[in-house]
A and B are shown apart, each in its own frame.
Chain A
């Protein structure tokens, strides 16, 4: 059983470079010739989570794991954490500040979008101690060969 794993750094508050980690993940998946629709779903989840880190989370990382039957995207940060995960999963709920909204963010669609586009999502967060979001995308029968 071999897996491929690679992680990328995300710098908090860096709105100019935000999205780079997701673009890198996207390029890796393209070179492995995954279904474009799957890549798009992973990219959207990557970008939404990357933006969460950039907006709220301080520094963090985005990692991609390619297994024979699934892809795993894991985003972790050392930010303030999520107080109420259930509430955060609701569409429209946002803790973005006015600055974020001025830049066009903060519609409260981040986590709901990630849930919609991934097959499984696990969030671990303790208030004040960072957040880890793990999303799983199952590959169709046959998956990816070594």
Chain B
């Protein structure tokens, strides 16, 4: 642990802006932050990209490790892979106009996710229906959609990895489709393609050490919705003002605009709203998610078939990289759903043919997830556990965090592991002072 501000795969830290308040300490679900010498430092490998530190930092010292769309479309074909959460940032604007705005910004193609969300829903329903008979996976199955949830499980609840639904996430289905059908058209002509993921949170960007990125393929860039919003808003305003601009011709079904079903996905409960599952739940918020995962580990909720978890409160609309407030966005979604209704466009039979071929099966096995996101901490021995208890007795914990650790127990562990000194505890220091 070196005493300097460290950026992780998902978040970037500005040392000059950090005031050392340590409000980020307590919100970190993997206890990856310490404050040393009035500056926050990170245990980089423990970051799962939830973005809670971005949300809480008053100084703005933490930001997403997303890139900016510099010189969009210059020397390359820019393809936008759009999260439906983007539409909710424009209350009263039709999704197709938002997509058109992106085209005006310089994106050659705008890929809407609705199509892939529907595929995911069909595949999930099918897996669950088969699992009722085969019992291949334990109940309750856990939605793989929020990547933070999956990483959180690998890090803190490895017992529950078999519960993660082994179906490819919608964004993975979308990327695969684009890579296998759209990109080759440009490759043939010798043109470079860049995929831009437009996201409501810093998590969609998978760390560079993942094998996926070593494979040949187009360059991939993660953009936050708030990275493009100021520019996009101007184009959308223009489109709204000008009547009768014809919508661009699109060549692929998935390039056409969103459905009410897709809009719903931004809200907590949106994933399961239109799914045909007997017993399902939607849980949102990082604390609530952790509390539920703890209970599932104790053997509870086995009568539930599927749980949709989102670590952001209210779902993806609550992502830290959104441009407008989550409740305003929720209002926009509710209006869209009222207008478009739920329901799907794709035909179940076609999807089932692909399902039979195993096209939606996720290849990420529990062991792999553990190796990627598991807690790579040295196990504590019986001796160490005793030492931690002794330290706890000495500090008589109030979880004040003045030492720079999120809580007393974590501090005691740091002391025993040799990463902190006992005298850093204010209470220990004060008592030592009195004796002198």
Binding site for B on A (CB under 8 A): 2-4, 6, 19, 22-23, 26, 28, 30-33, 36-37, 39-40, 43-44, 46-47, 66-68, 144-146
Contact = CB atoms under 8 A, between A and B. Distances in A.
Given A6-B389, A144-B382, A39 B298 contact: no
B181 to A, nearest CB: 40
Contacts of B156: 30
B382 A40 contact: no
B385 interface: yes
B394 interface: no
B298 A146 contact: no
A32 B297 contact: no
9 contacts: A4-B389, A31-B413, A32-B379, A37-B159, A40-B159, A43-B299, A47-B299, A66-B385, A68-B382
B51 to A, nearest CB: 24
B158 interface: yes
Contacts of A37: 159
A72 to B, nearest CB: 13
A19 B382 contact: no
B362 interface: no
Contacts of B386: 2, 4
Contacts of A32: 379-382, 385
Contacts of B294: 19, 23, 26
Interface in B141-164: 156, 158-159
Contacts of A28: 385
A6 B388 CA distance: 11
Interface string B68-96: 00000000000000000000000000000
B385 A26 contact: no
A36 B156 CA distance: 11
Contacts of A33: 379-380
Do most interface residues of chain B lie in helix, strand or loop, or is the interface mixed? helix
Interface of B: 156, 158-159, 294-295, 297-300, 377, 379-383, 385-386, 389, 413
Contact of A146 (B158, B377, B381): B381
Contact of A4 (B158, B295, B382, B413): B382
A46 B294 CA distance: 13
A145 B378 CA distance: 13
A66 B297 CA distance: 20
A67 to B, nearest CB: 8
B379 A47 contact: no
B381 A145 contact: yes
Contacts of A146: 381-383
Contacts of A66: 382, 385
Contact of A19 (B158, B295, B379, B381): B295
Contacts of B377: 31
A66 B300 CA distance: 25
Nearest to A31: B380
Contacts of B299: 40, 43-44, 47
A8 to B, nearest CB: 13
Contacts of B381: 32, 144-146
Given A31-B379, A31-B380, A43 B385 contact: no
Nearest to A36: B159
A43 B298 contact: yes
Given A3-B382, A32-B379, A146-B381, A47 B159 contact: no
Given A31-B413, A32-B379, A36-B159, A23 B385 contact: no
A33 B384 CA distance: 13
Given A36-B158, A40-B159, A2 B383 contact: yes
